[in-house]
Amino acid sequence: MESEVVVSSFSTLVYTFTFGVFGVCMLWEMLAPRRAEAGGVAWRWGNNFSLGLVNWYLSAVANTLLVLWVADWTDRRELGLMQFLDWGPLPQFLILLAATQLLGYWVHVAFHRVPWLWPIHAVHHSDTQVDVSTSYRHHPLEPLLTLPISAPLVFLLGVSLEAAAAYRLFAVLATVFSHSNVQVPEGLERRLRWLVLTPDFHRVHHSSDSRYTNSNYGSLVPWFDYLFGSARHWAHDEHETRELGLEYLREPGDSRFDHLLTQPLLVPGAAGQEQHR
């Protein structure tokens, strides 16, 4: 019973943190936007957040509960690699982050290259602007497919509940921040993008040009893009004018909530292919 209370407390912290991060990034976008917003912001946000509410439950709520429950279960039974190494929460957090992101990198690559996965992931890429509302704009099938990724690693590593909670907090921060339409000073951004997923680094991944769509696969950190040679950058000023989204599905109606749910039926079988209707 006590462990359930602890897991519930950490879960509440993650959810509260999520809303706080959204609020800060929204305010930052208003005060220092990176790109000028086109018309129809209310339309985009209404549809994106409608879809995002579904995915927030699957990606954040269900994922957080699963990860924290597994961490608590293994910790109480002294299972996993970390139990033998007896390292503190910070090393455990970094190891869990690196392990999940290595696996997540190749899963993301698969979503771009496997013909039946790309149409599902394309819902996220079809947004012609990228801001905080894009953070959880995913087809519901995508988080259902990726939900089981973190839990087995938490089980094998045997990280503490504190390390698992820190990982989930970082995941929320990185996901929302990397999609935010915010201005980061150029010098600072050049240094940060080696360590964390900056908005400029991730925006390249949302280019309508498939040469860039199929790059910068990191979802929380850029480490494995540099390691595997898939990191791409634009000149600082290019970010204000580069076209985002896909070469197709660019009409406002394509981003209507019900159309987003059926959109995978209209998308070609791999990123970079031309659409045929």
Give me Rg for the CA atoms of the chain. 19
List, for the chain, all residue ranges whose pLDDT scores fall below the cut of 50: 1, 274-277
Concatenate the DSSP letters of all residues of 34-50 into one string. Answer: SS---S-HHHHHHHHHH
Cβ pair 103, 157 in contact under 8 A: no
pLDDT attached to residue 199 = 97
Residues 171, 164: Cα–Cα separation, whole Å: 11
pLDDT attached to residue 2 = 53
Residues 161, 190: Cα–Cα separation, whole Å: 33
pLDDT attached to residue 274 = 46
Residue 241 tokens, joined = 């004018």
Residues 164, 167: Cα–Cα separation, whole Å: 5
pLDDT attached to residue 270 = 55
pLDDT attached to residue 246 = 93
Residue 205 tokens, joined = 């991944």
What stretches of 57-205 show up as alpha helix (H) in DSSP?
Answer: 63-77, 81-85, 89-113, 118-125, 141-146, 150-157, 161-179, 186-192, 199-205
pLDDT attached to residue 14 = 78
